[in-house]
Amino acid sequence: MTFKSIIDEIENNLNKILSELSISDVKFSVEPAKPGFGDVSCNVAFLLAKQLKKSPKDISQMLSEKYQDCVSTLVLNSKSHPSGYLNFSADWEKLSQLILSESYLPEFGDVDVGKNSAIVVEHTSVNPNKALHIGHIRNIVIGDILSRILSKANYKVNVLNYIDDSGLQVADIIVGFKHLGFSQEPPDGKKFDHYCGDDVYVKTTEKYEQDSSLEEIRKNVLKELEDGNSDTAKFADKITRRVLAGQLQTCWNLSVYYDCLNFESQIIRSGLWGKIFENLKEMNLVEFEKDGKNAGCWVIRGEGKEEDKVIVRSNGTATYIAKDIPYAAWKLGLLDDPFNYEKYGSDQPAKELWQTTLNHNNPIHKNFTGDRVVTVIDSRQKRLQKIITSLMGKFKSVSDAYVHLGYESVTLSSDMAKTLGLDTEGKQAQMSGRKGLYVNADSVYDILKQKTIDETKKRHSEMGDSEIEKIAHNVSVGTLRYEMIKQDLDKIITFDLTKSLSLEGDTVPYIQYTHARASRIIEKSGRTPSIEIDFSLLKEESEIELIKTIGLFDIQVRDAANNFSPKVIAKYCHDLAVAFNSFYEKVKVLDLDDEKLENSRLCLVLSFKITIDRVLSLLGIMAPDRM
């Protein structure tokens, strides 16, 4: 059992007291206390003040007295605080035994939020015309960590990557290859996805401003892409899959994996749109406009002052939202699945990767849908996602069946923009693949890795190259991932290459080094820590604080899963490291001339090591034993 054990005990006893007072339906909270308020605090007195016509202080005093008569296993005492909070102190000898014993178990931190239900997490969804830049990494890392958290919370998670292989940006590189003479082979030493983004895409879009005739060519290419049998579509499929292969290499290097790749071109040709459009009309969710600027169009009415959204133009062609609506319905299992499935051509590390296909030879059926869907898309698409969320809620009759997890963009600092040769007049610059204004994700990883290699060689001249290489990879991947989720999702990240390379402060190297410190203590002890210890010896304030922090693991997982918030786990991970370093600075573990106390503290060190390893795993970050 974890720290939640004492919370559950307090909740049960307070509910019995309220029942005896003939009070019901009071939704109070029992939470880990802030410093100076005992170990656990409850706000119940504030909620009863109006009903009982007494001050919160008097009510908490009354409840504290009644609590003394309750059967308590983990609570040492209850006290009324002058502010009105009801505070509790734990019997730490008993609670420490519960927390540390459970921390050694494989299922430590597991919670049952999902009840084994299926949930879809869709993330990445980058146009296959360029390499991934640092802005894309925020989306990818949010989605991947959320998937890990939801799995820990007992959801069956299907991770999808939507490949927009029929849009304007793909048309642009096809124009470049087919009409502007770009070679289909990149320069020596350059990845194909880098070449397409840095050279073909950027230079082709520049040509549009110089040659207006290219716009008509672009329109024709876009039209031909929708015809799966056209030579243009077949050529585009070959090119985009080469770009996708490069993007996936970047993702896999960052420990990001998927269950299925879904291709927009196949969704267009699958007939899903026709089925969902009929459903929309039958349910009166779309209306035909007879006059005005949208005459002859099918529209979704805007809410309040929002403009109506055209879904089918007057010429009968569907707008881009017509691709997203049937795909959203498919993810929720609301439409018959028109796809077959085949394994992706390259082996993905960690788990099998499947892809949709409209090829009906040797059919293989899979189910990658969910009872709920979380789609990770940046906040600039909020309006579109709001429409889809509303429609899916009506189709499924569950308002939160479809969730848009939005996040703010990653911008470039003015200094970073200058290194790219752009004068932003001291202002931040928005990422733009079209303008070539971005920091390549692979390049950032390479720079981080080289800096870590150099730093590790300075500290550990005795280390071999392969060990240094492994440490550098783990630190580099961890840094990229952690920097993308340690801030709130509604905050813009200003990416600065120099600051991102810092190995101090609230960073992954600090957390990883703390894990390595714990590993060294256990290694130096020359023994295997055991749970068979005297728990009464762990009574120093820094020891209790570390045990309490370890015991919060499942509470943090539940919070992160319920709120789709990776930051909760990132903050908890840092809190764990801080608590351990405080413990390390204030008490000795070894050379105490007291074997029982040494064993007790070693048990705590191993508990921390196991816990932070698992928390880092939820963040997709490795925990090196040496740094």
Q: Domains, the chain, ranges and CATH?
A: 4-90 (3.30.1360.70), 118-270+336-412 (3.40.50.620), 271-335 (no CATH), 508-618 (1.10.730.10)
Angle CA(183)–CA(186)–CA(192) in degrees, nearest 5?
115
Q: How confident is the model at residue 422 (pLDDT cuts 50, 70, 90)?
A: low
Mean pLDDT across 340-367: 93
Q: What is the pLDDT of residues 382-410, one digit of tens each?
A: 989 999 999 999 998 888 999 999 999 88
Name the helix (H) or strand (E) containing 247.
Answer: helix 231-253
502 phi and psi angles, rounded to 5 deg: -65, 135
Q: For residue 539, what are the CA distances in angstroms to 89, 94, 173, 593, 614? A: 14, 12, 66, 18, 25
| Structure confidence at residue 242 (pLDDT) | 97
Instruction: Encode pLDDT of 570-583 as tens digits.
Output: 999 999 999 999 99
- Mean pLDDT, residues 255-274: 94
Nearest to 622 by CA among 487, 501, 472: 472
Looking at residue 143, its pLDDT comes to 98
3-state DSSP call for residue 574? helix
| pTM of the full structure | 0.94
H runs (alpha helix) in 153-187: 168-179
Upper half-sphere CA count for residue 297 (Cβ side, 13 Å): 16
Q: Give the whole-number percent of the chain exceeding pLDDT 90.
A: 75
